[in-house]
Amino acid sequence: MTDDPPTPAAAPDGQSIDGRPADPTTETGWPGYRIDVFTLFPEVIDQYGATSILGRARVRGRLDLRTHDIRDATHDVHRTVDDSPFGGGAGMVLSPEPVFEAVETVEAGPDGLPRPLLLLSASGRRFDHGVAQELADSPGGFSLLCGRYEGVDQRVADHLCDGELSIGDYVLAGGELAALVVVEAVARLLPGVLGNEQSADEESHAGGLLEYPQYTRPAEFRGLEVPEVLRSGDHGRVAAWRQAMSLVRTLQRRPDLIAARGGLSEPEVTLLRGLGEVRLLREHGYD
């Protein structure tokens, strides 16, 4: 599902509700839910964060997205942030000094730092819809630290961060893309971010199931027709069909999600039987 109407223009500078200078990316200057991102490439986060859903959320004051350049905490002419690993090995490791200083500088500032601070790492906790909901429900917001090179000095993970997150079992060049995944997934769950609040409740993974198929006009395209039930105007039939299709799609593509929710309930089995999905039920042990 996409949510990409044009992003509104930012409001002009002014005074916020609490008397501080207003953020020019918001209509009200009210800080909203805050996410801080520490990175070597703040422009990556800033550019994407100014578009589409995130851009609109910032304009409306629903999201306060801040970036911090780790290089600003260096003290040499080359703005060095990495060094070779102890014990040898390929690549470079992100040094602890600039990372600690960058985080501590923000934490000691007038606004403090929203916690938890989570390191984006291939060895972290798997990020999924449940984790996104946990973060969206946390008061005040959270912060992200983007790793780079061959990794981050372990003292950063052990003594500065509150945890680690991974968006999947693969390795990226850095944590910026992972940070954007986390930021957008969480932001979409915040009140007032989506134009239709029901959207987040009906999407894939929101209820432990994959989302049902979606169709739009025209009703017939190159001989391919939209299912009749969706054109019937019968809201009860439509709701039953959508639930059934979510169950079918999840059984076919992600049976692990069905197992994680304790299997199919009796009403769900009955619904699928009524729609003729007997073979699919049998394949998954529902005789």
CATH of the domain at 163: 3.40.1280.10
* Global pTM value: 0.82
Asked if residue 21 is part of any domain, the answer here is: no
Question: Are residues 40 and 174 part of one domain?
Answer: yes
Check pLDDT > 90 for residue 10.
no
124 and 258 inside one domain: no
Q: Taking 80 as the threshold, does the pLDDT of residue 13 lie above it? A: no
Write out the H or E segment, with its range, that includes residue 272.
helix 266-274
Write the pLDDT tens digit of every residue in 153-178.
999 999 999 999 999 999 899 999 99
Q: Do 192 and 256 belong together in one domain? A: no
Containing domain of residue 253, as a range? 220-283
CA distances from 258 to 98, 125, 155, 249 (A): 45, 21, 39, 11
Per-residue model confidence (pLDDT) at position 168:
95
Predicted pLDDT at 207: 75
Contacts of 129 by beta carbon, 8 Å cutoff, 6+ apart: 185, 205, 206
Domain count, the chain: 2
* Tens-digit pLDDT profile for residues 90-137: 899 999 999 999 999 999 999 999 999 999 999 999 999 999 999 999
User: CATH number for the domain including 228?
Assistant: 1.10.1270
Say yes or no: 64 and 182 in one domain.
yes
Choice between 175 and 18, residue whose per-residue pLDDT is larger: 175
Q: Are residues 43 and 185 in the same domain?
A: yes
17 touches 28 (CB < 8 A): yes
Q: How far apart are alpha carbons 39 and 69 in whole angstroms?
A: 5
